[in-house]
Each structure stands twice: as C-alpha cells, then as structure tokens.
Amino acid sequence: MQKYIWLVPLLPLIGAAINGLLGRKLRFSEKLIGGIAVGSVALSFLISLTAVYSYGFGGHPEWPKPYVTSQDGFSFNWIPGGAVSINHGAEARREAESQKQVEEKLAAMTPEERSQTHSILTATVDSPRYALLNIEWSYQLDPLSSIFMLIVTGVGLCIFVFATGYMHGEAGFYRFFAYMGLFMFAMLVLVMGSNFVMMFVGWEGVGLCSYLLIGYYFDRQEAANASRKAFITNRVGDFGFALAIFGVIATFGSAQYTDVFQQAKSFPIELIGHWGVLSWIALGLFIGACGKSAQLPLHVWLPDAMAGPTPVSALIHAATMVTAGLYMVTRTNVIFQHAQTMLLVVALVGAATAIFAATIGITQNDIKKVLAYSTVSQLGFMFMACGVGAFAIAIFHVMTHAFFKALMFLGAGSVIHGMHHEQDMRRMGGLKKYMPYTYWTFMAGWLAICGIIPFSGFWSKDEILWKSASMTYIPLGWLVWLIGTIAATCTAFYMTRLMAMTFWGKEKFLEGAGGEADEAHASAYDKGLAAHDAVQPSAGDRPRHEPGEHVGPVHEDAAHHVATHGHGEGHHGAHIPHESPPSMWVPLAVLALLAVIGGFVGIGPAFRSVTGSEHPGGRLNISTWLNPIIWNPETREFNSAEGAHEAAPAETAHGEAPATAEGAHGGGSGYGDVGFNIAHSVESSTHSELATEWIFIIISLVVAGIGMLLGGLFYVWRPELPNIWAQRLRPLYNASYNKYWVDEFYGLVVTRRTMDASRGVYAFDSKLVDGIVNGLAWLSRQFSRVVGGVDKYFVDGLVNTIAAFIVRLMSPLFRAAQTGLTQNYALVMVLGLMLAVAAFFAKDVAGAVQSILGSLRPN
C-alpha cells in the first residue's frame, strides 16, 4: 500500500481543482462540493492509514528505514541540477588541512633539513568535492512523516466535515473548499516530500493557502489586512529557510533527507562558543520555523489570522500548518543537535513564546483570540521540547495539541455559529444548557490542555516539562522548566476563564450589550464600539472586529452583513443560541474522543511500574516509533528501531530520557558540562530516578490545578475579583491586554521606517532620477525640433522635387503600358518567354543553325 502514498497529496488537489475550476461555472450544490472535498480527504486518510499500518506494523521490509517512492518508480526528476561543487569546510578547513600537513612534514624532518626546506614546504589539499545534484519529486514514508500524514488527513477530515456545516450558506462555498483542498495538498507535500526543496514547496504552498483563507472574507478590511500581515511576516521566515536550504545544498551537495543526514552525522558537534556551518544552517531553518510556527519575534500574524473562518483557524492555524516548523526542526534534528547554541536558542525562544503568549491569553475577550494565543503558547512548549533535545516529545505534543486544539477551535466555531456570529466572550455565558454536545466536547479539550491526568495534554505537556528539567543537552534547562511551568499555570487559568465565560455562569447574551467588568478598562476604541453596539438592535450579527483591534474604518452596512454571513437572516430576532447540526458536533465528538485517549500512545517512563515498560505499546508508543529518525549524540548514530526492547548498551537502550539522564551522570552526552540541572539536583537528594520523575509530575499536576482553581475563583465563584485585580495590577493588565504593544512596536519600528525609507526612495526617484530623465527628454525634444525642421524643409523638399521630376517623366510610359487588355499582357508574357528561351538556348540554337548550314553547304 505504501507504493501509493503519492495519491495522498494528489487526491485533495484533484478535489480542489474540481471544486475550484468547475464549482462556480457549473453551479455545484453545497452537497456536491462538500462531498467532493470530504471524499477526497477521506480517501487520502484511508490510504495514509493503510500505508502507515503496512509500513510500521505489517512487517514491511524497509522498516525503520525511510521508504521513498522513487524506489518503486513513483517519482520524477524534478530539478535536474547537474554537478555542484561542495565547499563544505570551505576556507577554514583548507587552511587547517594545509597547516597540519606542513607541521607533519616538519615534524618528520631532522633539524638540518628543516632549516633548509622550510621555505619551500608545500601542502596538498583536496580539491573541492563535486556532487551530482538532482532533486527528485518523490514522497517519503518514515516514522515522522507517517505521524504527520495521519494528523493532517485525520484531523483534516474532521475539520472538513465540520466545515460543510459551518460554512453552510456562505457565498464562496466552492472557493472555501477549493482553498482547503489546496491547503491539504501543500501540507501533505510539506510533510511527505523526500527532500528540502519539496518541503519548501509545501511550505510556500501552505503559506499561500493560509493567506487565501485568512482573507476569505476579503471584503472586510480587517481580514484583508490580516491575510497580508500573515503573508509578509512569513516571508521573513521563508527567507531564512531558503538560505538554509541553499546552505544544505552547498554543504552536502544534496537536498535529499537521507543523503544529507547520513553526511551530517559525521560532522563535529558545534558546542556553545563554536559557530560553524551547521549552526548557520540551523539558524536559517529556525528562522523559517519561527515564521511558520509563530514564535516570538514573528508571532504577530497568528492572532490576526483568526479573521479567517473558524474551520480554517482550526485546521491551519492550530492543528497542522503552524506545526510545520516543528516538523522541520524534528526532521533536521541531526543538524540542530550538531549546533548546541541553536538548541539553546530554540529552547529559550520556545519558553519565552510560551510564557509571553500565555500571559496575553489571560486578558483577551475574543474567544478565538484566546485560542490563538493559546496556540502560540503551546507551540512555544513544543519548541522548548525540541530545544532541550526531546524531539519525539515535541511531535507527541504536536499530535495531542492537534487533537485538543482543533477540537477547541471547532467548539468555538460551533459556539460562534450557535450565537449567530458572536465572538466576544463577554456576551456569552451559560451556554452549556443550550449547546450540550459542544459543551461536553469542549470540556474534554479543556481538561486536555490544562494537563489533567488521563487526558492527552497531560502526557505530552508533562513529558516536555520533565525533559526540560532533566535533559542535559543545553545549559539553562532549569530556566526553561521554570518558565514552562509558569506558562502551564497560565494556560490552565485562561482556559478555565474561557470555559467559565462561555459555558458557565449567567446568560449574558440575554442582557444585550455590556457584560463583564473588563469592559471598564477597555480602550477608547472599545468604548466606541460598545456604544455603537448598544444602538444596533442585533448584537449577534455584527462584523467580527475585536476590542482594541486597529482595524481602521469599518463599514456598518446591514445589508452587507447579511450578504457576507448568509444565514441567520430569518432568526435575527431570537438571540437564543442553538445547538449545531450533526455535521458539526459529530467531528467534535470524534476529536473529543481523540483528545481524551490520544495521550496513551506516549505514556512516559515514569509509569513503568503501572504499565510494565519504559515505553509501553511497542511501536504504538510514539517515542519508540520516532526513535529511528532521532539522532543520538552519544552514539553519533540514529537510534535503533526498537530502542526500548533491545538489550543494547545502557545509554542507548531506552530511547532518550533515560539515556540522557544516565549519560549526564557519566558526562558522555557529547555536549560537555552544561551546569546546573534541576532534575539531577532533586535526584541527588531523593536518590531515586522514579521518585524524581514523580515529583515533577506532581508539580505539573499541582500547577495545573492551581491555574484551574484560580480560574474558577476569579470567574465562577467571585466574579468581582477580575475587576479588582485588574485595577491593582493596572500596568501588567494593560500590557497583557494590549499584547505587550508588539504590534505597535513593529508598526513604529518596522512598518513606519519601511514607509519612510520608501518615501525617501520615492522622493529620490521622482525628483532626481525622474528629473534627469525628464531633462534629457526636454533636451532631446528641442534637438528633434531642430532636426525636424531641417528634415521637413530641406531634405523633404529635395526628395519631393526629384520624385516629382521622375514621376512626370515616367508616368506617360507606364500609363500607356497598362491597357487593361488581357491579350496585351499575354503578348508581353509570350515575348518575355521567347526572350528567356532565346537567352537560355542561344548557344544551342546557334550551334544547330551552324550545323544545318554546314551540312547543307556543298562539300
């Protein structure tokens, strides 16, 4: 079955092409469009499922080596590149090599010889290597891409089904599903491609689809701005990524993952303080990852991206596309693990993003904004895991996060749908009575993201925190752990707040505009909006602009809204929310199930007394499953396939966690001494690894509980508290509410300065360059005026005189020749023919005449 994985990206593309090219022209019904889109994704999912099953569990001969479709000929030579020179090591390596050779020669000589030959001593250096660069279009099936295939198609399928219900009645139904299908194609190319260039194609493809889908309501200024912002911010990251790809090709002479990683294995590890070629590549890759996965300097686009339809937010901006950065970092873990500085940077950026976004999430009032900041924060967690070297756990969190965050976004979509396009949580409340399915499924997501024990989020988040405390790949692991723990508390708090404001408490939509105490500190814009809403009778169907959002002038045209949000026309009067149709809550239920049980594939070593194994489940355990693609800096090889079950040496046998825990004791992790490690400090006092792990598990459970209790306290039991505390912590509250003014900062420092620079360049262009050009134009105009005069009066006069003379002379002749009688013309033709014949045969005729005459002459 794995032969046919090339169909997996192709099918959604075909579906998208049918919907996009024909959907409008042939006026497809919504059922047909939805059927095509969902059907193609469902087929892809089935193919992925069978392919992954037969690859991993069906005794596939390739396991655990990557299976590339070119082995079976399902590929083509996409970019025939030809020979490239590989300058890896570059100048420095050459210098060092020649230096060494000279020294060796010197050492081998006697002192006398040395004094004689020193000046003429030369060294031979390898000429630059060459490689044949051919970039093929083939798909790769390996543990990492299988997980992403299943996430993308599986979660994607749920979201597609949901979208058929959510997008019902939208004007551009076909357009929506065409973009979504295109997105699936691009995302699958990204995760299934077998080389960096294909990943880049997918990378740009998902960026494009993200742009198109954020700007789906392109008639709304806010959405159009958000889509541009996303696109431009991603360009920054893509620039780094592209440079990194060039670096990879220049260094390794190939873009194929298998080739590159085989070569990269033998490079020396660049510890902190050393900055070599792999660090540069890793830096470029990480800049790309920052852009796509919304990490700290480049995170600004993701919250704004919520202007797109909610299924888009769920699929692209929570479950799949934003995890592309994680995919890339994990895919290139060999390179990252060779650059310790970059590991540290990844971990710190991840931690900073986690806490930064989590604190913003606390004060946001738009339900989708809260989830967006939550997503940014969770992505930060994943990068933390990558940074400390726990790549498998990062992917584990990608997976669980895909489940519960897609669930929560879809739940939010269901709420918005049920509330007739109301997104402000201050106008919700008490919805559990009206939307039971949505409520209970959302509850599962809430418990999962908070990290309560049997739910999926617990397993991955706890593992991340434990790994950051215990891994010894980088220094400052304790700081990462501390920040992560605080961020986890914040997560639990704002998620509880979201639950409380949305589903519990008073039904505020019955009271009309107004609402929670937060309103009191809203910005001037927000106040204006509130006043406006009070005038408008239907608060439910207003455009989705958020308080404090600088969206520019918004057109409040009622007819326009009805046109954009097609449904809800009939039931404007009734503000009572309603439960969503089955096409929406069934996917919710499926995702809720996954959010509850999804974590069991990654039960960590701490539970070995319960489960009887470090990584229970064999290959079904995500750590074991991902082992073959993770490079181990101790053995300097990729991990063995069945790590946990083989009786290999103690350092490598248990996958990562124990390996590093024990390796650190021996100091053999390949990264040198990294200083204080909190887990080891605890362990040295408890003298038991198991107890240490449990201490950290309990800490993470306790902080989750604290967060939830605080949330309950603030928003359920004592609803007046938020107001009081917001007043007390006014500066902090404002900073968080205004997202730390990052947008304003960028606006001032980047956008304004770019505009200034553009204006300067424009002034230069319009004044100086155009001035020169215009001056030259004026000069040449004057000159041509003179030339024109000369030409007109002198040259033309001359020509005309001569021409007139000739015409007068010749015209009677020519006029007479043209009689119009066919016979005359024919006569001329015959005469001409005779002339031609005469000229041609003149010699023969003369000869013949002569011979006749000669024969006639009497001899």
Partner 1 sequence: MLNLFSPTLVLLLQEAERSRIAQMLDQMRQAAVAPDLSKFLVIGALLFIIGVAGVLTRRNIIVIFMSIELILNAANLNFIAFSRYLQQIGSPNALAGQIFTVFVIVVAAAEAAIGLGIVIALYRNKETIWVDEIDLLKW
Binding site for partner 1 (CB under 8 A): 818-823, 825-827, 830, 856-858
What's the min distance (Å) between Cβ of 800 and partner 1? 28
Q: Identify which of residues 110 and 823 has a Cβ nearer to partner 1 in the complex.
A: 823
Taking residue 141's Cβ as centre, other Cβ atoms within 10 Å add up to: 28
Of 406, 386, 263, 391, nearest to 321 by C-alpha is: 406
Q: Identify which of residues 573 and 858 has a Cβ nearer to partner 1 in the complex.
A: 858
What's the min distance (Å) between Cβ of 854 and partner 1? 11
Q: Identify which of residues 717 and 825 has a Cβ nearer to partner 1 in the complex.
A: 825
Q: Identify which of residues 676 and 825 has a Cβ nearer to partner 1 in the complex.
A: 825
**Helices and strands in the chain, H and E counts:** 36, 6
How far is 465 from 486, CA to CA, in rounded Å? Answer: 11
Kindly tell me the burial class for residue 648, based on how many C-beta atoms sit within 10 Å of its own C-beta (0-12, 13-18, 19 or more).
middle
Q: How many residues does the chain have?
A: 859
Cα first-last separation, the chain: 106
Amino acid, single-letter form, for residue 848: A
Q: Identify which of residues 778 and 825 has a Cβ nearer to partner 1 in the complex.
A: 825
What's the min distance (Å) between Cβ of 797 and partner 1? 34
Residue 424, beta-bridge partner list? 366
What's the min distance (Å) between Cβ of 819 and partner 1? 6
What's the min distance (Å) between Cβ of 803 and partner 1? 24
Q: Identify which of residues 26 and 831 has a Cβ nearer to partner 1 in the complex.
A: 831
How far is 737 from 361, CA to CA, in rounded Å? Answer: 8
What's the min distance (Å) between Cβ of 857 and partner 1? 7
Q: Identify which of residues 266 and 823 has a Cβ nearer to partner 1 in the complex.
A: 823
Tokens of 509: 């939509």
Residue with tokens 């009497």: 858
Q: Identify which of residues 520 and 836 has a Cβ nearer to partner 1 in the complex.
A: 836
Of 121, 191, 202, 201, nearest to 153 by C-alpha is: 191
Taking residue 379's Cβ as centre, other Cβ atoms within 10 Å add up to: 32
Q: Identify which of residues 795 and 835 has a Cβ nearer to partner 1 in the complex.
A: 835
How far is 130 from 84, CA to CA, in rounded Å? Answer: 6
What's the min distance (Å) between Cβ of 851 and partner 1? 14
Q: Identify which of residues 779 and 826 has a Cβ nearer to partner 1 in the complex.
A: 826
How far is 487 from 726, CA to CA, in rounded Å? Answer: 19
How far is 74 from 395, CA to CA, in rounded Å? Answer: 28
How many Cα atoms occupy the beta-carbon half-sphere of 465 within 13 Å?
A: 29
Q: What are phi and psi of 737, to 5 degrees?
A: -60, -35
Element (H, E) at 842: helix 822-856
Three-class secondary structure assignment of 210-277: HHHHHHHHCCCHHHHHHHHHHHHHHHHHHHHHHHHHHHHHHHHCCCEHHHHHHHHCCCCCECCCCCCH
Q: Identify which of residues 805 and 825 has a Cβ nearer to partner 1 in the complex.
A: 825
How big is the CA angle at 706 (ends 702 and 707), to the nearest 5 degrees?
120
456-470 and 678-686 are packed helices; what angle lies between their axes, rounded to 10 degrees? 90
What's the min distance (Å) between Cβ of 79 and partner 1? 58
Read off the DSSP letter of residue 545.
P
What's the min distance (Å) between Cβ of 830 and partner 1? 6
Amino acid, single-letter form, for residue 570: G
What's the min distance (Å) between Cβ of 77 and partner 1? 54
Residue with tokens 């992954």: 52
Of 638, 640, 607, 600, nearest to 622 by C-alpha is: 600
What's the min distance (Å) between Cβ of 855 and partner 1? 10
User: How many angstroms from the chain centroid is the CA of residue 265?
Assistant: 27
Which pairs with CB-CB distance under 8 Å and at least 24 residues apart come from 615-621? 615/643, 615/644, 615/654, 615/655, 618/642, 618/645, 619/56, 619/57
Element (H, E) at 198: helix 196-214
What's the min distance (Å) between Cβ of 806 and partner 1? 23
How far is 455 from 443, CA to CA, in rounded Å? Answer: 11
Buried b (16+ CB within 10 A) or exposed e, 571-609: eeeebebebbeebbbbbbbbbbebbbebbebbbbbbbee
What's the min distance (Å) between Cβ of 821 and partner 1? 5
What's the min distance (Å) between Cβ of 810 and partner 1? 18
How far is 617 from 604, CA to CA, in rounded Å? Answer: 11
Q: Identify which of residues 774 and 851 has a Cβ nearer to partner 1 in the complex.
A: 851
What's the min distance (Å) between Cβ of 824 and partner 1? 9
What's the min distance (Å) between Cβ of 782 and partner 1? 49
How far is 480 from 473, CA to CA, in rounded Å? Answer: 12
Q: Identify which of residues 802 and 830 has a Cβ nearer to partner 1 in the complex.
A: 830
What's the min distance (Å) between Cβ of 839 and partner 1? 19
Residue 385, beta-bridge partner list? none
Q: Identify which of residues 119 and 822 has a Cβ nearer to partner 1 in the complex.
A: 822
Kindly tell me the burial class for residue 797, based on how many C-beta atoms sit within 10 Å of its own C-beta (0-12, 13-18, 19 or more).
exposed
Q: Identify which of residues 453 and 830 has a Cβ nearer to partner 1 in the complex.
A: 830
For the CA atoms of 727, 730, 733, 737, the dihedral, rounded to the nearest 10 degrees, stands at: 100
How far is 780 from 801, CA to CA, in rounded Å? Answer: 30
What's the min distance (Å) between Cβ of 804 and partner 1? 24
Tokens of 594: 């996954």
Q: Identify which of residues 799 and 826 has a Cβ nearer to partner 1 in the complex.
A: 826
Q: Identify which of residues 510 and 830 has a Cβ nearer to partner 1 in the complex.
A: 830
